[in-house]
Structure 1
Amino acid sequence: MSSIIELENLTKNFRKSPAVNDLSLSIPEGAVTAFLGPNGAGKTTTIKCLLNLQVPDSGQAKILGCDSRKLGPKQLQRIGYVSENQQLPSWMNVTQLLDYLRPMYPDWDREFEKKLLREFNIPLKTKLRSLSRGQRMKAALLSSLAYRPQVVVLDEPFSGLDPLVRDEFLHGLLELTEVEGWSVLISSHDIEEVQRLCDRVTILNRGHLELNESTDELLERFRKVTVNFPDSKNLPAGLPATWSDFQVSGRTIRFIDHRFHTTTLPEQIGKHFPDALTHEVQPLTLREIFVVFAKSFRLPNNPPSQS
């Protein structure tokens, strides 16, 4: 599978503080990739470097095989971009906005535009400045999709949307990505929503890459484990590095297994907890897995284990 986005040793500093630090990353074509990380992780800066909205200090960002610093009309006509801070011409209404944009995109699909207008249910004659935030975000998404871009980049598209509008936005986006087969990079703190969309998960922390793998593989290898004992139990030394987030409560020990396997886990429990009575295993949501990483980011000199 070819890569739609490639970052190689990408670095961007602000006042000598690194926002993106020697970041190398490849995102495959045709995938919906969740771009996650705590505040200040470097997600928005990475996206802006990728789209030539900011110039990296060193390294390289490529999208559609083109160096981001050389993006021209030919490439931009194949990229859709929606940001929570996107500025729309507030004096226009939706009809005027679409009339203004349409000539810029040779592949603009009028029938597709009409379909999106029906699905998003946006008032056509109301000035953009008078629309709700959710309606403006849907207008921005519509104007970025009607020309059928090859890759769509979304930076916090759900920010500030009420639950109903968020669900409508997400439903429309999910249907479109499945039907159109677009490559999508979506940065969001709404991880429950993102899980419904994404094929892959990328996690940044302080400008560094912490994880990049398929959603299915990630959800498969993380488990919450509860071990029960006949008496009160203290945590022994020498436990596997792939176990974390230990909680000791009387006769119970709970932890997260980063490399769960149905065969090896019972063997490991027998080795490290020979007096264990029973153990229970539960899957984690993407949000719960992200929290495991986020907790480890706060620990000095203790990056999250990927092994």
Structure 2
Amino acid sequence: MKLAIRTEKLSRRFGKTVAVDRVDLEVPEGAIYALVGANGAGKTTMIKMLMNIFRPSDGRAEVLGVDAAHLAGNAFTRIGYVSENQEMPEWMTTGGMLSYYRSFYPQWDPVLEEQLVRQFDLPLKRKLKHLSRGMRMKAAFASSLAYRPSLIVLDEPFSGLDPLVRDELIEGLLERAPETTVFLSSHDLAEIESFSSHIGFLEEGRLLFSEELPVLSERFREVTVTLERPSVLPEKCPASWLQIEAAECVVRFVHSNYKHEITERELAEFFPSARNISLDPMPLRSIFLAIAKSGRSHVQSTANTKGIKA
């Protein structure tokens, strides 16, 4: 498997504050990889290390087979980069900016540029400083896609945009996806769930997991057990059971390692008096909330929580 991005124990500290903590990450070529996490989780710092804007305190990163610490000049003709705080030559017109950038990229595709201008309905004669935020982001996307980069890195690209603009940008991005790798950060799960192929969850600088989105969705289930009579859970429940709650004859928890028949058999053995056991798929937002809350409160111990014993 060829990798577009690979990091080893990548870390960044600002004084005593650890922004990124020993992250091991692999992004396969051709993936649409979403790095998600709350604001302040370390996503932007991570991206800036990948783009050689920040130097890591420890560890290393490779981008398109090049040590990120050596990225410069021609290396960026293969990488598109768009940030929510994108700096642009505001005194230029949109057309002037595209014309100016064109000279820096030997592989710039004028036919694709025209297509993107039409698709995003860009006003070529209007100065960038007079554009709305949504239109400025469209211009940034067009200028980063027109030279057909091998890797597109996006830092919170859809933040604060209205749904129509966001959908237009996602559509433009997906049309380029077959020929490139996309790596984006976001704190909004709804905007990335529909099109990402891989996902990683960053919390307080630590990468809690990284995997294909269908695999993640398949291994999480919301479990509801209805019993004949109340009882008490044993002191130690399986580590894969998160957010355990019990009331009278009903037990609810999130199973983080669902394996279809194996899991169903184990639950039947654990709850022999169950009248019903349901295992329901979970939306991405619910999965991440379960992971985040479990990481903070060590739900395995479920202090002061009553439950059911087989």
Same fold (TM over 0.5): yes
Q: Measure, in 2, the Cα distance between the counterparts of 1:248 and 1:133.
A: 48
| RMSD, aligned CA | 1.7
In the TM superposition, residue 232 of structure 1 has moved relative to its aligned partner by: 4.2
Kept in 2, the 8 Å contact 1:116–1:142? The answer is yes
- 1:104 counterpart SS class: coil
The separation in 1 between residues aligned to 2:242 and 2:293, in whole angstroms, is 10
Of 261, 269, 272, 1:271 maps to 269
Pick closer, same or farther for the CA change 1:301–1:282 going to 2, 3 Å: closer
Query: Which of the numbers 214, 220, 223 marks the counterpart of 1:222?
Result: 220
Task: Report the AA paired with residue 218 of structure 1.
Answer: L
* TM-score (normalizing by structure 2): 0.92
Correspondence 1:111-190 to 2 at 5 A: 111-177=111-177, 180-190=178-188
* Corresponding residue number in structure 2 for 1:55: 55
- Higher mean C-alpha displacement, 133-142 vs 291-300: 291-300
SS in 1 for 2:114: helix
Of 281, 284, 287, which aligns to 1:283? Answer: 281
CA contact (8 A) 1:38 1:294 kept: no
Residues 62 and 68 in structure 1, CA contact (< 8 A), matched pair in contact too: yes
1:245 corresponds in structure 2 to 243
Alignment partners' CA distance in 2, 1:244 and 1:200: 23
Deviations 1:51-76 (A, max 9, x none): 01111122211101111121122210
Structure 1 residue 268: Cα displacement: 2.0
Instruction: Give yes or no for contact 2:242–2:294 (8 Å, CA) kept in 1.
Output: no
CA distance in 2, matches of 1:265, 1:204: 28
- Residues 215-269 of structure 1: CA deviation (Å, up to 9, x unaligned): 1111111111111123445544332110111222333221111111221222222
Give the C-alpha shift of residue 96 in structure 1.
Answer: 0.8
Matching of residue 192 in structure 1 with residue 190 in structure 2 = yes
Check 1:237–1:301 CA distance in 2 against 1; reply closer, same or farther (3 A cut): closer
| SS of residue matched to 2:69 | helix
Deviates more, 1:15-24 or 1:80-89: 15-24
1:82-132 Cα deviation digits (max 9, x unpaired): 110111111112101101100000000000011111111122222212211
- Indicate conservation of the 8 Å contact 1:155/1:186, yes or no: yes
C-alpha displacement at 1:34, in angstroms?
A: 0.9
CA distance in 2, matches of 1:300, 1:290: 15
* Stretch of structure 1 that moved more, 44-53 or 54-63: 54-63
Q: Which amino acid aligns with 1:170?
A: I
Contact 1:205 1:297 in 2 (8 A): no
Take 1:187 and 1:216, find their aligned partners in 2: how far apart are those partners? 19
TM-score normalized by the length of structure 1: 0.93
The DSSP-based 3-state class of the residue aligned with 1:143 is helix
Which amino acid in 2 is paired with 1:116?
A: L
What's the counterpart of residue 305 of structure 1?
none
Runs of 4+ in 1 over 6 A off after TM superposition: none
**Equivalence for 1:46:** 46
Q: Secondary structure at the match of 2:196?
A: coil
Alignment check: 8 A CA contact 1:233 1:252 kept: no
2:220–2:256: 8 Å Cα contact kept in structure 1?
Answer: yes
Q: Which moved more, 1:252-261 or 1:223-232?
A: 223-232
Secondary structure at 1:77 match in 2: helix
**Which moves more between the two structures, 74-83 or 281-290?**
281-290
Deviations 1:184-228 (A, max 9, x none): 111011212211221111112222221011111111111111111
Cα shift at 1:296: 2.4
Q: Which residue of 1 aligns with 2:89?
A: 89
| Structure 1 residue runs without a partner (length 5+) | 303-307
Q: Count residues with an aligned counterpart.
A: 300
**Structure 1 residues 300, 220: closer, same or farther in 2, change over 3 A?**
closer
Alignment deviations for residues 269-294 of structure 1 (CA, whole Å, 9 cap, x no partner) = 22322211011121112222111122
CA-CA distance at 1:143 after TM superposition: 0.6
Partners of 1:47 and 1:251 lie apart in 2 by 48
Separation in 2, partners of 1:7, 1:43: 14
C-alpha distance in 2 between matches for 1:255 and 1:99: 57
Question: Could you tell me whether the CA contact under 8 Å between 2:12 and 2:20 is conserved in 1?
Answer: yes
Give the whole-Å Cα distance in 2 for the aligned partners of 1:8 and 1:191: 26
3-state SS, counterpart of residue 274 of structure 2: coil
Separation in structure 1 between the aligned mates of residue 280 and residue 117 of structure 2, nearest angstrom:
42
